[in-house]
Amino acid sequence: MFGSRLFFYGWWNWRFVFLLLWAVASNWYAGAQIDKYLLVGSKESATKWLRTAIVGDLALLGVFKYYDFFAVELSNLLGSRTAIPLLELTLPVGISFFTFQAMSYVIDTHRRLIKPMPILDFAVYLSFFPQLVAGPIVRASEMAPQISQRPDPRQVASGEAFQLILRGLFKKVVISSWLASAIVDDVFANPESHSSQDVLLGVYGYAIQIYADFSGYTDIAIGVALLLGFRFPTNFDRPYSALSLREFWKRWHITLSSWLRDYLYIPLGGNRGKNADTYRNLLITMILGGLWHGSTWNFVIWGAIHGVALVVERLLPNWQIHPVVRWIATFHIVCFAWIFFRAESFSSAMDVLQAMVTSPGSTELADVFLIFILAAMLTAQFIPKFKSEEFKQWLNSRGILTQGLAFGVGLVLIDIFGPEGVAPFIYFQF
């Protein structure tokens, strides 16, 4: 099983197989040492091994993902005569995800929440191919029992898995790709050449595109894992139905937001201290969460916007504001932040913002069909969750031939309605 995962990862770039192997070996050994010293009551030694493992994991991210960013910024600060050489390394696919999973393993071992895994089980956990590339971030406490039990492939929820895979493919191939080609890419590439209405719809379009893209990938990953007998945690829960930023982060990329909460926000102090300490912890958590997504100032700004918005929510008195007003405010704050997430640079983001309010260009991209798609996708966010669960149960009760036929028909329809040239998943870059 582990060999197939290495083959999958090495197919992209065989050199980075050694990076993955190092992450497996170093974190497994650190976890074993942490457990050994905790058993004999030497918490100080266990903590040293924990720190060593975390530093090693962060060093991987630092070298491959952040070195050039900080080198450029430091060179600009010191002056061109003291330019720091750049490494210009290729970013290993999925490094942000498997390093976070590795850190959660050694931290949870130190907290005595899990027992050390056998090395082959840990290797399978860290390299599990459905979520290796772009998540969701699965914790060892969720995967270890499933790996050790060696799931029976004859007992999988195939109907539910097929439904998840088809739903994910539809979101990505049809919705996300169509929105990108119809309006989003053009608006963000040349905002000044479009009307304010087109730019605004382009921003709305990107909000739907990134949701369809990332939640689509997650659906596919969860579905494929389910076919193999593994059940992953939910990563999206109708995020655009949220009535606050706090609720949004309980619904968007749930495995990342819960990771940041448990391994960063709470260790920083969470909300246990003074209000000022809570606000500081929120800002630090969200800014670092933004930086996790990418090594540019745009991602830092994106995280800072969410951090400031979360702080403002806590500062506001608990007024009885109509839910519709709260939803509108939350959705538009999220959309505003997405501009910085999508734009190539800070200046590009400002061009989009300026064009949104001042551009006199003609409205060419907006049409009734586009508005209908955006409205339909937003409306779907409010469909009760239990309806989806009932549909999954119904599919699981069907025979495998019926499920397979439905799956095949679904693939054909997706291929028919999807545009030519489907772009890679957005979160592949992280």
* Same-domain status, 20 and 125: yes
* Same-domain status, 205 and 69: no
* Same-domain status, 128 and 200: no
SS3 assignment for 204-270 = HHHHHHHHHHHHHHHHHHHHHHHHCCCCCCCCCCCHHHCCCHHHHHHHCCHHHHHHHHHHHHHHHCC
* Same-domain status, 277 and 347: yes
Whether 181 contacts 345, CB under 8 Å: no
Q: Please tell me which residue in 293, 306, 322, 332 is annotated as part of the active site.
A: 293
* Same-domain status, 142 and 257: no
What is the C-alpha separation between 404 and 388, in angstroms, rounded?
20
* Same-domain status, 189 and 318: yes
**Which residues form the domain of 28?**
2-150
Cβ atoms within 10 Å of 130's Cβ, excluding its own: 24
Whether 203 contacts 148, CB under 8 Å: no
Q: Could you read off the pLDDT tens digit of each residue along the chain, which spans 430 residues?
A: 555 555 555 555 667 778 888 889 999 999 999 999 999 888 999 999 999 999 999 888 888 887 777 777 777 777 656 677 777 777 677 788 888 899 999 999 999 998 999 998 898 888 887 776 666 888 888 888 888 887 666 677 777 888 889 999 999 989 998 898 888 999 999 888 888 888 999 999 999 999 999 999 999 999 988 888 888 888 999 999 999 999 999 999 999 999 999 999 999 888 887 888 899 999 999 999 998 888 889 999 999 999 999 999 888 876 678 889 999 999 999 999 999 999 988 999 999 999 888 866 666 767 788 888 899 999 988 888 766 666 666 666 767 777 778 778 888 888 788 777 666 677 666 5
Q: What single-letter DSSP state applies at residue 183?
A: I
* Same-domain status, 180 and 109: no
- Residue 293 known to be catalytic: yes
- Domain count of the chain? 2
* Same-domain status, 169 and 115: no
